[in-house]
Chains A and B, each alone.
Chain A
Amino acid sequence: MTDVIAPPVETHEPTELHLPPEVPGDGHEPDHGGHEAHGPTGILKWLTSTDHKVIGLSYMITSIVIFYLSGITALILRLQLTSPHSSLLSFGQYNALFTMHGSLMLYLFAGPFAFGGLANYIVPLQIGAPDMAFPRLNALSYWLYLTGSITMLMTIFVAGGAAQFGWVAYAPLSSATSSPGAGPDLWIMALALTGFSAIFTGVNLCGTIFYLRAPGMTMFRMPIFTWNMLVTGILILIAFPVLTAALIMLFADRHFGTHIYTAVGCHLVNGLPMRSCGSPLLWQNLFWFFGHPEVYILALPFFGIVTEVLPVFSKKPVFGYKGMVFATMAIAALSTGVWAHHMFTTGAVLLPFFSFLSLLIAVPTGIKFFNWIGTMWHGQLQFTTPMLFCLGFLFAFLMGGVTGIMLASPPIDFATHDTYFVVAHFHQVLFGTAVFAGFGGVYYWYPKMFGRMLRESLGKWHFWLMFIGFWITFMPQYVVGLLGMPRRVASYPSNLGWQSYNIVSTVGAFIIAASFAFLLVNFVVSWRKPIPAGDNPWDAQTLEWATTSPPPHHNFTHLPPIRSERPTWDYNHPDALTVPHGKGAHNGHANGSGNGSGNGRVKETV
């Protein structure tokens, strides 16, 4: 069945679009005309749906399952390190587990959760679109992601076991000689499938945002989350094709006799290797040309979540809207020119070039921090669960970011390369973004997705345990890294004083694990005893809160006028006194139904 969609009719009735947050639950399912109300139901709906909301939810559920599985691998790894010569795992099993942990978290959780799950669900709603631009391609993306995830998990069960070369699969360790067997081949195929999935999603995000915005939703009125997803989509299109091509060449090296990543057969011409000679360093170049933008592919969506949540719970517009947009663009642009800062110690890269560009990323990131603080400054702060998670993100990411600046300096990088200092750094960056901000996004948008609230008390238990566990886990890793403990080791000398730090880190990891039990309990409680959310429980500002919870098929029955970057707030607060700041900001009330300025500039609402 194909639906020909006409735009939702604008309404001028000043109907409240939100309900109070704490409507007492009556034990019944919330009555809504959600996405369940259209087409087939049950398993057939899941198999055939091209609705972005169903696909987005499928992505999120799959990626959260992956997250829990990967968390279990992390706990086993931490248990191994509580003793210098633990017999819990063999060296091979330890290598396979950390490879699986990194691969699951980075390729199959953090990215797909953000651009496959949250973006799929939220972006069309935020721009007033009925669906993604290419719904069938969107569905195909999910099936490739799911089959890629299954392929990755299959590596555990094949003869020879899972790949043991880490999530970066450096050549020549990933060659058929060093890593024989079906496990590494399946690892390559899993990433090829998810790579194509990501590319299709990137195309879909860009197409949707460029072409399906509602009338009046200009580029500079888009919510920052949507802006960040647009930039993420472009980064995906830059980075993932390189990874997919690199993987195909790796497979060819392993099975078809090519020598793209091996120096076999090279001979010297005038004292230099022939230019057509294969090179293990080529893999690192290609991989990190994907891998460093990938870090920002994993970070920018979560920056977007934070930029959505902070204004809502500060009761203010985002501070420095355009600054945020330009900072996002600058981060994306710079992130494509810094790939070889992961390769400083190879001795074969241009240190000043990559060091300078890496240090430069601190500037737009600092602008973002400044604007996040500016958004909260003098706001009416509400410390709800999503807000707490985003505040936790600020602390976690700040620490990860500062150590990132340190690592951008070659002398420090040479001293700390491949130590636990680096492990602590990137876990603080990625845990700060994908976990703190990511689950902040889950708490924030869950009412929109399911029409029911999560419990605040359980959410706060989740946050505080995770926040405490986070610092206990990763701060000792900085210290033990500076003491010289290398990463990716299953045992270590017992006379160097590393054990106590590892024990503390393991205790922290288990506290984090305990915190995630509260999330599961929260999901169960919200399903067994639902508290209806209403359309806009947070009194939020952007367009997704102007429709029902969950939204109907094709999203909107009517749309409010779009006169600023926060149309739902304008619509729900027509009498709010606005104090413009910025040149020419107050020309407003364009059609009498909003308090927007008509030019998309940021204003302060009193």
Chain B
Amino acid sequence: MRVSAVFLLFLGLFFGLIGLVYWFWAYEDGGAVMLLGATLLGFLPGGYYFFWYRRFHGHKYFFWGKIPVAGERSSDRVDAEMADGAGNIDAFPGTSIWPFVMGMGAFMTVLALVFGAWLLFIGVPLILTALTGVTAESRRGGNV
């Protein structure tokens, strides 16, 4: 998790630095805003990983407050055995029709912007059905 955090924070820092240089050299707001967005994209998840890395090592917050040390995840430990990852990884859907239904709904919806609003009568219900279906499927843990 430390590597993930450092990696993302480094990217955010780099984008921030060249964003500053760019702004004060070029005074061009479009590019500066995009570089700011890229900076945040590095800092937000990087900060999240850094927060959790510190928590795993007994820091309640980033630098202050103490909690018991949990240690690194098994995927971040060089000496981890397969047994260290024992337990369920996650629940993965075997099959699901809803992504297909949602894809077709999105297809009809964008075509409606070109060929006419009548296609929305197909596209929007498909998207809503798929959203309902995939939510129910995810909550029940099986096909719906």
Query: 8 Å CB contacts to B: which residues of A1-56?
Result: 1-10, 38-40, 45, 47-51
Point out the residues of chain A lying under 8 angstroms from B122, CB to CB.
none
State the CA gap A216–B73 with chains docked (Å): 9
Point out the residues of chain A lying under 8 angstroms from B81, CB to CB.
10, 215-216, 561, 591
A528 within 8 A of B: no
Query: 8 Å CB contacts to A: which residues of B66-99?
Result: 74-99
A337 within 8 A of B: yes
Q: A212-B89, A234-B11 known; A10 and B82 CB under 8 Å?
A: yes
Contact of A2 among B15, B87, B92, B107 (CB under 8 A): B92
State the CA gap A289–B85 with chains docked (Å): 41
Judging by beta carbons under 8 Å apart, are B92 and A9 in contact? no
State the CA gap A275–B29 with chains docked (Å): 10
Which B-chain residue is minimally distant from A183 (CB atoms)?
Answer: B114
Total count of chain B residues near the partner, CB < 8 A: 66
Interface centre among B91, B97, B107, B141 (most CB of A within 10 A): B107
State the CA gap A39–B97 with chains docked (Å): 13
Point out the residues of chain B lying under 8 angstroms from A144, CB to CB.
103, 106
Point out the residues of chain B lying under 8 angstroms from A45, CB to CB.
95
Judging by beta carbons under 8 Å apart, are B110 and A1 in contact? no
A457 within 8 A of B: no
A390 within 8 A of B: no
Interface centre among B11, B79, B82, B90 (most CB of A within 10 A): B82
Q: A2-B93, A38-B94, A215-B74 known; A7 and B82 CB under 8 Å?
A: yes
User: B55 to nearest A CB, angstroms?
Assistant: 16
Q: A140-B103, A147-B107, A559-B82 known; A5 and B115 CB under 8 Å?
A: no
Point out the residues of chain B lying under 8 angstroms from A39, CB to CB.
94-95
Q: A9-B82, A336-B35 known; A2 and B22 CB under 8 Å?
A: no
B104 within 8 A of A: yes
Contact of B89 among A7, A193, A350 (CB under 8 A): A7
User: A334 to nearest B CB, angstroms?
Assistant: 9
Judging by beta carbons under 8 Å apart, are B92 and A135 in contact? yes
Judging by beta carbons under 8 Å apart, are A219 and B98 in contact? no
Stretch among A86-94, A184-192, A447-455, A509-517 lining the B interface: A184-192
State the CA gap A350–B21 with chains docked (Å): 11
A282 within 8 A of B: yes
Judging by beta carbons under 8 Å apart, are B26 and A5 in contact? no
Point out the residues of chain B lying under 8 angstroms from A6, CB to CB.
86-89
Contact of A214 among B14, B28, B35, B82 (CB under 8 A): B82
Point out the residues of chain A lying under 8 angstroms from B3, CB to CB.
218-220
State the CA gap A357–B18 with chains docked (Å): 10
Judging by beta carbons under 8 Å apart, are A151 and B78 in contact? no
Which B-chain residue is minimally distant from A242 (CB atoms)?
Answer: B34
State the CA gap A188–B72 with chains docked (Å): 46
Which A-chain residue is minimally distant from B90 (CB atoms)?
Answer: A5
Interface SS, B side: helix
**Total CB contacts across the A-B interface at under 8 A:** 214
Judging by beta carbons under 8 Å apart, are B94 and A147 in contact? no
State the CA gap A7–B28 with chains docked (Å): 51
Total count of chain A residues near the partner, CB < 8 A: 85
Judging by beta carbons under 8 Å apart, are B100 and A136 in contact? no
Q: A50-B95, A136-B96, A193-B106 known; A215 and B82 CB under 8 Å?
A: yes
Judging by beta carbons under 8 Å apart, are B75 and A218 in contact? yes
B129 within 8 A of A: no
Point out the residues of chain B lying under 8 angstroms from A9, CB to CB.
82-83
Judging by beta carbons under 8 Å apart, are A140 and B92 in contact? no
Judging by beta carbons under 8 Å apart, are A289 and B82 in contact? no
B10 within 8 A of A: yes
Judging by beta carbons under 8 Å apart, are A218 and B77 in contact? yes
Judging by beta carbons under 8 Å apart, are A130 and B89 in contact? yes
Contact of B142 among A2, A215, A217 (CB under 8 A): A2
State the CA gap A454–B28 with chains docked (Å): 53
User: B36 to nearest A CB, angstroms?
Assistant: 12
User: A95 to nearest B CB, angstroms?
Assistant: 20
Point out the residues of chain A lying under 8 angstroms from B49, CB to CB.
210
B125 within 8 A of A: no
B113 within 8 A of A: yes
Contact of A251 among B79, B86, B113 (CB under 8 A): B113
Which B-chain residue is minimally distant from A288 (CB atoms)?
Answer: B31
Judging by beta carbons under 8 Å apart, are A2 and B94 in contact? yes
Which A-chain residue is minimally distant from B13 (CB atoms)?
Answer: A333
Query: 8 Å CB contacts to A: which residues of B1-54?
Result: 3-4, 7-8, 10-11, 14-15, 18, 21-22, 25-26, 28-31, 34-35, 37-38, 41, 49
Judging by beta carbons under 8 Å apart, are A136 and B110 in contact? no
Judging by beta carbons under 8 Å apart, are A139 and B96 in contact? yes
Contact of A238 among B38, B98, B102, B114 (CB under 8 A): B38
On B, residues with C-beta under 8 Å from A are 3-4, 7-8, 10-11, 14-15, 18, 21-22, 25-26, 28-31, 34-35, 37-38, 41, 49, 74-100, 102-104, 106-107, 110-111, 113-115, 134, 137-138, 141-143
Q: List 13 A-B contacts (CB under 8 A).
A: A1-B143, A3-B92, A6-B87, A138-B99, A151-B110, A185-B113, A234-B41, A329-B11, A336-B38, A337-B35, A350-B25, A353-B22, A561-B81
Further 11 A-B residue pairs, CB within 8 A, beyond A210-B49, A285-B31? A2-B92, A2-B141, A47-B100, A135-B92, A143-B102, A192-B110, A214-B85, A234-B41, A336-B15, A353-B25, A553-B94
